Structure 1
Amino acid sequence: MNIFVVNSGSSSIKYQLFRMPSETPLCSGLVERIGLDNAAITHQTGTGEEEKVVKRTLSLPDHEAGLLAVTQLLASPEVGMIQDPQEIDVVGHRVVHGGEAFAATAFITPAVKAEIKKLFSLAPLHNPSNYLGIEVAERIFTNARQIAVFDTAFHQTMPEKAFRYAIPNAFYTEQRIRAYGFHGTSHKYVSEQAAQYLQKPEAKLITIHLGNGCSMAAVANGRSIDTSMGFGPLAGLVMGTRSGDIDPSIIFHLINQLGYSPEQVSTLLNKQSGMLGLTGHSDMRDISQEMNEGSHEAALAYDMYAYRIKKYIGAYAAVLNGLDAIVFTAGVGENDATVRADVCQDMDFLGIQLDIEKNQERSKRPREINTPGSRVKILLIPTNEELEIAQQCITLLEDSRAASSSEN
């Protein structure tokens, strides 16, 4: 079964093509810097000596242009793995916000699409891109079942004391205003990998997903019990363009005293803040370069970024009443040794001790980067949201077939 997984981010598309049940993708790729003239596609097929990598720089005004370019590569004579888009059996889509309407993976129908669209305001950087990816995929892969995997689903195990806000009850019972959490597909995957690595299914873990969007989760016995993002993906850590946690009084001040409209405040906090607001850059590679060149603003931004993560580690260690490991993952978490070093500095009281040399090593495999004497393991585990999505698609199809068989 050919499963094509589409993971549309705010300015990127990650994708993998699986021929299940094999967990090794036939090809994978990344479209970066969508919306810019120097957008880039990196498309990889094969492994080892037979690996082929195609890199292209081109102008991609939107996600539709990006996905169309990817489709051409999938069926190209040079690196293609299919001859026709109709060979795709399933397209699995990452959808950021499922609200309380979706606590599990779902077949995409007009009703499901309508619900996803209703949630645009709660995930303004992602749900519109996810929705567009679905619509484009429906036009291109007309023979495929379209399936949505929701980032919010993994966090549905949070206890009510963690997901409720201290506002009048009617806002939850009538409007469903609560913390939902995000990056659930990634947190689920790396927490399972960490528990397997530790050979401890009941492990107490803090998973730290650091990309353009950033979040953390407290995971015990394989279940999310708290997470840093909330009603929307704006809360929690300092991110590429999002502010993370902010005093709500600032919002009132912006509106009442400085004349901002609610739409302007939303744009400010979601698209113009975070590392972009502090440094003028949202890409950590650019910020790191400026810091190395002596920029005070870049150095301060790195300090603020790491400081917020450390605060959440302390909070979640308390919530978990113990800690077996912290897990770094996603683009920044996997590749930025400076961030990991800053986060783990002066954490001896919690038993977190980083091995400087191991932290500098590069590897795609799950590994420890703590000292031998560290009470808490520091794990670097590459996330694989695409594989997790493919596996959830298979599970949904199998459950659907089993239900049909029992009815007959």
Structure 2
Amino acid sequence: MAIVTTVMTVNCGSSSLKLRLVDESDTVLDSEDIAVHKGQIDRERLSRFTERLGRVDAVAHRIVHGGDRFTGSVLVDRDVRSELMELIPLAPAHQPMALAAIDIVADQLPGLPVVACFDTAFHSRMPDAARDYALPRQWRDRFGIRKYGFHGLSHEYASTRAVGLLADKDIRIVVCHLGAGASLAAVRHGHSLDTTMGFTPLEGLVMSTRSGRVDPSILLWLQQHAGIGVEELADTLQYHSGLLGMAGNPNIGELRGRADRDARRAVDVYLHELCAAIAAMTAALGGLDALVFTGGVGENESFVRTHVATALGYLGVTVDEPHNVGAEPDTDISTPDAAVRTLVIAAREDVPMARDARMLLGGS
């Protein structure tokens, strides 16, 4: 088998398709971000990207949901693809687009080995206390109902990078992946001990268009008393809730610039849920040594970081505000005497994806 060094990574998110060509030193040789609208991939732009590439040894695709079956990256064959299709109901906003991307890129770059890298894999060894729901055992065993967790590739990279920046392998880390989708992870010694997303990527924090956690009785009530069907509920929770549902705009930076009541309330709810969830993650760790912000919002919206630091000052989180406002990843924005280090780290899911492809295929 030929040595694999240069890997094309295909990262299907809920709002964008991120393409990277990465070499063995994690250097990005080429890149393009393509906006995604309602799960539709712009085939022409994707084709232009693949046509201009030089050497490519393998393709690695980010797959959001691996279920119980996939706890590590795998080579994609017909059987694997069929199993991934069965998981579509658990990640309807992501899984179909990722499968479409696998097919499109395979047509454009035929003959290359294809690797699936799973967001759920990083969380697959969470303690039972963190992963189990208080539901009947029959349901949990029969249907595989448990907390799977997501954004694992981002949480893995950001926590590893934090350990490197702070030169301490024993730190207790909460990673805040804040983008169109958002989740937290409590990480120590390279392992996820808890996370905010659950059985699907819908649970947890308030997101751009997703509701995050809600009382399940609300959904039952809407079905029983308001006559709202399952399809409408699913569509609304995924695509018309969160910041968009509360204030008509999915962008928290733009909402902060508005003075109307709906915008203020949406931002307040977003920040309240975020701070409460970070505090909960520290309980899984028994304390906090490093708080990491990554993702589009985490890296670019300094007011979010300021609010979190103020709210969680009692945990020892304090940031240097001038440094925070002008922060560019990867950097430590803490005050010199802060008990908790606060870091801004660029999201690099492509790094663990390319690494896993090389390991599977016998590369460096």
TM-score normalised per structure 2: 0.95
Work out which of the residue numbers 319, 342, 345 in structure 1 matches 2:284.
Answer: 319
Cα offset, 1:332, TM superposition: 0.6
Cα offset, 1:33, TM superposition: 4.7
Work out which of the residue numbers 6, 11, 21 in structure 1 matches 2:10.
Answer: 6
The equivalent of 2:223 in structure 1 is 255
Residue 240 (str. 1) matches residue 205 (str. 2):
no
Residue 299 (str. 1) matches residue 264 (str. 2):
yes
Q: Is the 8 A contact 1:303 1:342 kept in 2?
A: no
Which moved further from structure 2: 126-135 or 166-175? 166-175
Measure the CA separation in 1 of the matches of 2:106 and 2:24: 23
1:7-26 aligned within 5 A: 7-18=11-22, 20-26=23-29
Assess, with a 3 A threshold, how the Cα gap between structure 1 residues 2 and 199 changes in structure 2: closer, same or farther: closer
Measure the CA separation in 2 of the matches of 1:384 and 1:112: 25
Work out which of the residue numbers 30, 33, 38 in structure 1 matches 2:33.
Answer: 30
Q: Is the 8 A contact 1:26 1:81 kept in 2?
A: no
Measure the CA separation in 2 of the matches of 1:233 and 1:327: 20
- Which stretches in structure 1 are left out of the alignment for 5+ residues? 36-60, 402-408
How many pairs are equivalent?
360
Cα offset, 1:369, TM superposition: 1.1
Letter paired with 2:270: Y
The equivalent of 2:244 in structure 1 is 276
Residue 367 (str. 1) matches residue 325 (str. 2):
no
- Which stretches in structure 2 are left out of the alignment for 5+ residues? none
Q: Is the 8 A contact 1:302 1:339 kept in 2?
A: no
Letter paired with 2:189: N
Which moved further from structure 2: 205-214 or 311-320? 311-320
Q: Is the 8 A contact 1:369 1:378 kept in 2?
A: yes
Note the alpha carbon deviations across 1:171-216, whole angstroms, 9 max, x for none.
2222211000000000000000001111111210000000100000
The equivalent of 1:52 in structure 2 is none
Larger radius of gyration: 1
Residue 72 (str. 1) matches residue 48 (str. 2):
yes
2:265 aligned counterpart, secondary structure: helix
Residue 345 (str. 1) matches residue 321 (str. 2):
no
The equivalent of 2:341 in structure 1 is 377
Note the alpha carbon deviations across 1:153-176, whole angstroms, 9 max, x for none.
000120111101111111222221
Work out which of the residue numbers 58, 79, 103 in structure 2 matches 1:111.
Answer: 79
Q: Which has the higher contact order (CA 8 A, sep 6+)?
A: 2
Q: Is the 8 A contact 2:246 2:262 kept in 1?
A: yes
The equivalent of 1:153 in structure 2 is 121
Give me the identity figure in percent.
36
TM-score normalised per structure 1: 0.85
Measure the CA separation in 2 of the matches of 1:203 and 1:381: 16
Q: Is the 8 A contact 1:88 1:143 kept in 2?
A: no
Q: Is the 8 A contact 1:163 1:179 kept in 2?
A: yes
